[in-house]
Amino acid sequence: MLSIDLTGKRAFVAGVADDRGFGWGIVRALSQAGASVCVGTWPPTLRIFTKSLERGKLDMSTPDGGSIELEKIYPLDAVFDTPDDVPDEVRNDKRYVELSGYTIQEVADQLRTDFGEPCLDIIVHSLANGPEVQNDLLDTSRSGYLAALSASAYSMVSMLSRFAPLTRPGGSLVSLTYLAAERVVPGYGGGMSSAKAALESDTRTLAWEAGRRYGIRVNTISAGPLASRAAKAIGTIERMVDYYEANSPLPEVLAADEVGAAAAFLCSPLASGITGETLHVDKGYHAMGMQADTPLAE
């Protein structure tokens, strides 16, 4: 029987803060396939995440009824490459002041210390942030635009640059993108559409560079909307979910586990010939050219 087997593989999933988003769906799928999983959590949400874990408030089951055992949780703020990049106002913020080692380089160094080198097989970039996402692009400030690109796109470049030397041959990176990289999605502003377009372009370039230099495959999943806690920052996420359900070829609400399964496939030997790809996991919505409920459709 052909199956996804990641036994003996170690994954690092960046961008996990609760059990409701795509990041957790990917953790569930990778765990079900047998991988050991470490996660990177944004410092402002780290305490809530770890407390929820300790109190048994997170869904620690895998889709097949097994259980998730996180190997280690690292604080990670992927906006900062090295400690020198952290400004004093962040370093002294109450959510950061008791933490250390949360820059990308420091997390890579800690992985090396904890597990040796090489120690990774799978890197998952489930990171996005746009402080002005509710603003039209025309009303987005330069700082808001650049912040969206930094957190949502360049962070993948920086992570791969620093984590690739820790990755064993045949490794894989998977990120998450959105259809706004290709088409206009009103309400998805603040430079986030630009950031997702950059991420998809970088996926192709990094597939070439990391493939030739390290033998790593690089792909991204263009997922449909999910009413996760993080996505609520958009402000219209529930309406987006309903719209997709009404207009997709498969008129269903997308589940995080469906994106998780696709990510597990892309990270597995079954996808050994796939790199530089943007894979749409959105119930087919990306294929539509007009609304389903129109006189012409009837």
In the DSSP assignment, the letter for residue 118 is S
Give the span between the Cα atoms of 22 and 24, in whole angstroms. 5
Query: What are the beta bridge partners of residue 123?
Result: 12, 173
Give the span between the Cα atoms of 178 and 291, in whole angstroms. 19
> Among the options 74, 96, 154, 188, which is catalytic?
188
> Among the options 178, 214, 244, 285, which is catalytic?
178
Nearest to 72 by CA among 118, 32, 120: 120
The reply to whether omega before 118 is within 30° of 0 (cis) is: yes
Tell me whether residue 145 is one of the annotated catalytic residues. Answer: no
Give one DSSP letter per residue of 229-255, joined into a string. Answer: TGGGGGS-HHHHHHHHHHHSSS-S---
Which positions ≥6 away from 232 have C-beta within 8 Å?
Answer: none
Give the span between the Cα atoms of 67 and 39, in whole angstroms. 16
Nearest to 173 by CA among 211, 206, 219: 219
* Cβ atoms within 10 Å of 274's Cβ, excluding its own: 14
Query: What are the beta bridge partners of residue 122?
Result: 11, 172
Tell me whether residue 214 is one of the annotated catalytic residues. Answer: no
Catalytic residues: 178, 188
